[in-house]
Amino acid sequence: MTLQDDYLPLDSFLLKELQNFDTWLELSDSATVYNEGLEGGYKWWDGKTEPVDIWQMIIEKVWGHLDVNTIAGFEYWANVLSKNNELSWHQDKDEKEYDISGKTICPSVSTVYYGYDHQVEGGFIEIGLPNSTDKKQTERIQPKFNRIVTFDPSRWHRVMPIKSGVRLAFQINIWEDRPSFLE
């Protein structure tokens, strides 16, 4: 796991654009469900085409050093969570494949970026230790403005309850192989 504070310069175009709350709601609301019956909404970008929106520009900023010919692409979405919201323990995975076969296939890297200057109490991301299902021993990370966190999405993780405020987070998963939910 890596964590970096002050990821973007405060005067950067990207960070300024991310201060529009409606931009976050738009991504959160417009993301599509890949397959009937799957929960959540996600977007996909192969990374080979020019970025078409602020979100793909951020992905390019974060992961532009990758050879996009060695990966299938990027799954991305936004979470906008408020008081009493949380995300329960889970692994990021190919949900369609899991529903069909019970097989857990995870992306290679997960990224969480807090690009909105929010004031939130609670809403920590809690990440289990590597190769462990013991949810009592975890790494706990505060949702701090302009912080970026990368971790192994096969590790069990969750968002703890929010006591006050609104937590806005942008998530990016890198897939080495094309997930089944894109079919």
- Residue pair 158/122 in contact by the 8 Å Cβ criterion: no
Instruction: Label residue 30 exposed, middle or buried (CB < 10 Å: 0-12, 13-18, 19+).
Output: exposed
pLDDT digits (tens, 9 = 90+) for 37-77: 334 467 999 999 999 999 999 999 999 999 999 999 999 99
Q: Give the contacts of 16 (CB within 8 A, at least 6 positions apart).
A: none
Half-sphere exposure of 49 (CA within 13 A, CB side): 9
**Bridge partners of 109?**
174
Give the closest residue to 20 by CA, choosing from 115, 148, 88, 130: 115
Give the pTM. Answer: 0.92
Write out pLDDT tens, residues 88-128.
999 999 999 999 999 999 999 999 999 999 999 999 999 99
Domain boundaries, the chain: 2-177
User: For 2-177, which CATH class?
Assistant: mainly beta
Average pLDDT over residues 6-16: 97
pLDDT digits (tens, 9 = 90+) for 124-165: 999 998 877 778 889 999 999 999 999 999 999 999 999 999
User: CA 161, CA 9: separation in Å to the nearest integer?
Assistant: 29
